[in-house]
Amino acid sequence: MPAPRTGTWMPEHIKKKLLEEIGILEHELSHELPAEIKKAVAMGDLSENAEYHMAKQRQVFVNARLGQLKKRMAELSLVNLTNIPRDKAGFGSTVVVFDTTKDEEIVYRLVTSEESDVSKGLISTTSPIGQGIVGRRVGDVTTIVTPNGKRVLEILKLTTIHDEAAEGEQQNESAGQKS
């Protein structure tokens, strides 16, 4: 059964992905790197010991990355769906836009940066296009500055995360009545 989409919510696959990386890095930090450092120290003179310096640099990097991942987990756990608008584009919305620059219709889904994949139409809410779409309604036209130049997008259709949750509940009720 999927997680209810009310209150605070984090997509399970993102949580799993972050926890996996945290686990791998914590293991490296507490087991592999200390062994490498100990081995390098045993070689003698540390001032010219490349293995020692590489292991210490890796240790600093792993610590920094762990900090980033834990901070991101905390941020994502605070996503409160009740704060996401029901009538404007926001996190989880599927938006059909007309790109006047390319003269084509494009479907975007606004997702977290961890989920973004432009080739699949998954756009991060923090990307230039995502930021240009967030807060927009059907009929709005927005000009977005991207690395490839300006793009003018018109919002043709909007399905918010709340609309999708309501559709899912209706489908579940329909399926329950048929059994």
Q: How far apart are CA 92 and CA 119, in angstroms?
A: 17
pLDDT in tens, the chain (179 residues): 333 444 445 566 677 888 899 999 999 999 999 999 898 888 888 888 888 889 999 999 999 999 888 887 777 666 666 667 778 998 888 999 999 988 999 999 998 887 888 899 999 988 999 999 999 999 999 999 988 889 999 999 998 877 776 665 555 566 555 55
Closest CA to 158 of 142, 179, 134: 134
Instruction: Return the pLDDT at 173.
Output: 61
Q: What domains are defined for the chain?
A: 12-81 (1.10.287.180), 84-171 (3.10.50.30)
Q: What's phi and psi for 91, nearest 5 deg?
A: -50, 130
> Which residue is listed with tokens 């399970």?
12
Instruction: Return the pLDDT at 171.
Output: 58
Instruction: Return the pLDDT at 176.
Output: 59
Instruction: Return the pLDDT at 7.
Output: 43
Instruction: Return the pLDDT at 167.
Output: 63
Instruction: Return the pLDDT at 15.
Output: 76
The beta strands (E) that lie in the chain are given as: 94-99, 104-111, 122-124, 141-146, 149-159
